[in-house]
Each structure stands twice: as C-alpha cells, then as structure tokens.
Structure 1
Amino acid sequence: MDRNNEEEVIRNYQKGEKMMILLFAQWCINHDLDPVAIYQEAYPYQDKNKELIDAMELTVPKQESDHIDPETLLEVLSLYGNDDLAFVVAELINRQNLK
C-alpha cells in the first residue's frame, strides 16, 4: 500500500471514530445520561476525552434526535475497540431497560 492510500485509510478510520463518539454521546443524551460520566466509569484512569467533549457540542436535544438502536451502538463501540465502554453501556441498557 502506498503512502497516500495509508493516509486515506487513517483519515477514514479517524472520521469513523469521531462518528462513533458522536453516536455514543447522542445516545446518552437521548436517555438523559451523562456521556462523560459513563466514559469515566468505563475508563477511570484516563483523562477527559477531548473528542467526547467536542462531540457533545454536536449533539442535539433528544426531541430532535433520531432513535439510536442500542445494538447498533454496542456494535459500533466494539468495532472501534471500546469494549470496556460497550460493557458499561450494555449494563446500563439491561439495568435501566433502555431501548
């Protein structure tokens, strides 16, 4: 793979990762949950996630948002290697019967 293709793959991955973070943040907003607190529960030893803070500025009120399927959210989180966050979200879904 040449250098341009590698850079394109990296840019596409980063763009997808930002969409995953926005999806997570919007799902939290839709369920009156704090995305930062949930992220901190999953990753207690990490500093604040700048990408998550940035994504929160792009969320809309839950009344304006489309429904986000919890299974889709869990799949996307896992796809980008956020297994700890997916675990915490899955527990929230089960414990609070979130759909």
Structure 2
Amino acid sequence: MEEHRKTIEENIIESYRQDEDMMILVFAQWCVNEGLDPEELYQQAYPQQQSNERLQRVLELTVPKEEAGPIPDDTVLGVLSLFGNEDLAFVVSEAISNRAPKK
C-alpha cells in the first residue's frame, strides 16, 4: 500500500513538472514571437537567480516566430499567474505596455 501511494505521489509530481515545463515553453515562445529575450525577462523578474536550467532546456524547443502560432498576451499572463509566477507576469505586462502598438 505504501509503495502504491509513493508511486501516485511521484506521478503527481511528474505531471506538475510537465505542466510547469509547458508554462515555461508558452512564456519562451511568446518572447520569441515578440522579439524579446526570455532569459533577460526572467532575469528582470528574478534577479537573485543566476540562471534557470529548465528555461535553458525549454528554449531548445522554441521555434522561429514564422513557424509558431500566435500566443495572445492574455494567454501567457494567465499561464504565468496559474503557476504563481507573479513577478514574471509583472515583467511581461511591462513588456506588453512598452512595445509599439500593433498595426
């Protein structure tokens, strides 16, 4: 019984990690689409962290803007908030407000 519970806990943790990686990918691809550096924005949000290994890994999965589908601003902000990345959502909000209006 104990081993079964441990397996369930491990599956839940792994599922959360995968969801978190998807959130990182949405953020990173949104940055690429907007011509922004994901690492730079992350560093602005979390200056106390040297680098984020998961962000580095996920960056390899991004595609050029021309190959990516659009990611609405509300989507990236919602996903960041869902995972409690309020500091990063704030930096993204600033980037959104600072960009030139789309025509």
> Shorter-chain TM-score: which interval?
over 0.9
Q: Evaluate the alpha carbon distance shift between residue 98 and residue 47 of structure 1 in structure 2; reply closer, same or farther with a 3 A threshold.
A: farther
TM-fit CA distance, 1:97: 5.1
Aligned length: 99
Matched with 1:51 is 54
4+ residue segments displaced more than 4 Å: none
Unpaired stretches in structure 1, ≥5 consecutive residues: none
Give the match's secondary structure for 1:3.
Answer: helix
TM-fit CA distance, 1:36: 0.4
Matched with 1:34 is 37
For residues 9-28 of structure 1, what are the structure 2 equivalents within 5 Å?
9-28=12-31
TM-fit CA distance, 1:43: 0.4
Q: Percent identity?
A: 52
TM-fit CA distance, 1:94: 1.6
Matched with 1:75 is 78
Matched with 1:60 is 63
TM-score for both structures, normalised by structure 1: 0.92
- The amino acid across from 1:87 in the alignment is F
Structure 1, residues 42-69: CA drift from partner, whole Å, max 9, x if none?
0011011011111111100000000001
Unpaired stretches in structure 2, ≥5 consecutive residues: none
RMSD: 1.6
TM-fit CA distance, 1:2: 2.1
